[in-house]
Homo-oligomer: A and B are copies of this chain.
């Protein structure tokens, strides 16, 4: 057929702790041909997200794990370059979870068109994609903030955290972030408009730091990290507080659970509610949420920061850095030219 070849990254081995670049392998393969009701997508932006660490494990979870030799899963924004699908034409910008690869066949139920007039198309992997939706439903449905309450957000400069905090401000809350390093904290306060941000790397008493930043206690804790930051949050939860468990990135590279203080006894008398959630559960309402998030982004009420690295071969190192907190904003890999912008 003469389509040429493309590159993709497969899982080479399952890391026991922190992944190494050798756990990934770059492969070349012939560009496939779309079948009936399918499209061929040239991937422009690949999203790198903490949940991918879970897919590298061989354990039952809410989604199947990636097999050895299989392409790593991942959200993608790309351009339709061939189409046998009546709803998509060549040149359309689309979003789907097509994995760590330069080309892929799309056409499943999750394939959706991205409107480049609203915001840069990379945002379909970020504030106007899965992370933004996670923030939206996690905060509003699970956290249920009320005006005047205090919302604490961990990984506040990250893809989800930055949206959570701004949504909570829109909802009339006092918002406190937790982030690693002075630069991230300054961004969270000055650019995103959080009321305060705790630099967890600079604090040796996180309990006291949270208490100082949240003088009225914590009503909603949106947790992306687990570990010692969560310990401090738990100690400061208010009566009838709610905890939205979105992730626990501090634990993802551990071969077995680390030890931490048992604090759940605090939740009895304080009637704290803790709820794990996955954004998929809200799929029927994605469209409405994206429309709302899009308006807020266009109006400048939600700002966002992306951290974009160049080239598929950089994906493994960038992903390893993500799990160390080295990225600053929504991490993505640009695999090829973006015809709509950069």
Chain A interfacial positions (CB closer than 8 Å to B): 54, 61-63, 226-227, 230, 239, 245-248, 251-252, 256-265, 267-278, 281
A261 to B248, CA, bound (A): 13
Q: Contacts A62-B239, A275-B273 hold; do A259 and B257 have CB atoms under 8 A apart? A: no
Report the minimal beta-carbon distance from A67 to chain B, rounded to whole angstroms.
Answer: 19
How many of these chains are in the complex?
2
A252 to B262, CA, bound (A): 11
Report the minimal beta-carbon distance from A184 to chain B, rounded to whole angstroms.
Answer: 23
A226, A264, A267, A281: most-surrounded residue (chain B CB, <10 A): A264
Asked whether, in the complex, the Cβ of A262 is within 8 Å of the Cβ of B267, the reply is: no
Report the minimal beta-carbon distance from A99 to chain B, rounded to whole angstroms.
Answer: 20
Asked whether, in the complex, the Cβ of A271 is within 8 Å of the Cβ of B261, the reply is: no
Contact partners of A278 in chain B: CB under 8 A = 268-269, 271
Contact partners of A227 in chain B: CB under 8 A = 262
A63, A226, A268, A278: most-surrounded residue (chain B CB, <10 A): A268
A256, A263, A274: most-surrounded residue (chain B CB, <10 A): A274
Contact partners of A274 in chain B: CB under 8 A = 264, 267, 273-275
Report the minimal beta-carbon distance from A61 to chain B, rounded to whole angstroms.
Answer: 5
Asked whether, in the complex, the Cβ of B261 is within 8 Å of the Cβ of A257, the reply is: yes
Contact partners of A281 in chain B: CB under 8 A = 271
- Smallest Cβ-Cβ distance to A223: which chain B residue: B264
A9 to B260, CA, bound (A): 37
Q: Contact partner of A276 among B63, B267, B276, B277, CB < 8 A?
A: B267
Asked whether, in the complex, the Cβ of A261 is within 8 Å of the Cβ of B259, the reply is: yes
**Nearest 8 CB-CB pairings of A with B:** A248-B265, A267-B276, A257-B261, A62-B269, A259-B259, A268-B276, A274-B274, A273-B275
Asked whether, in the complex, the Cβ of A269 is within 8 Å of the Cβ of B230, the reply is: no
Asked whether, in the complex, the Cβ of B273 is within 8 Å of the Cβ of A273, the reply is: yes
Contact partners of A275 in chain B: CB under 8 A = 267, 271-274
Q: Contact partner of A268 among B248, B267, B268, B271, CB < 8 A?
A: B248
Known: A54-B269, A245-B267. 18 other contacts (CB 8 A): A61-B269, A62-B239, A63-B269, A226-B265, A245-B264, A246-B268, A248-B262, A248-B265, A248-B268, A251-B262, A251-B265, A258-B262, A259-B259, A259-B260, A259-B262, A260-B262, A269-B276, A271-B277
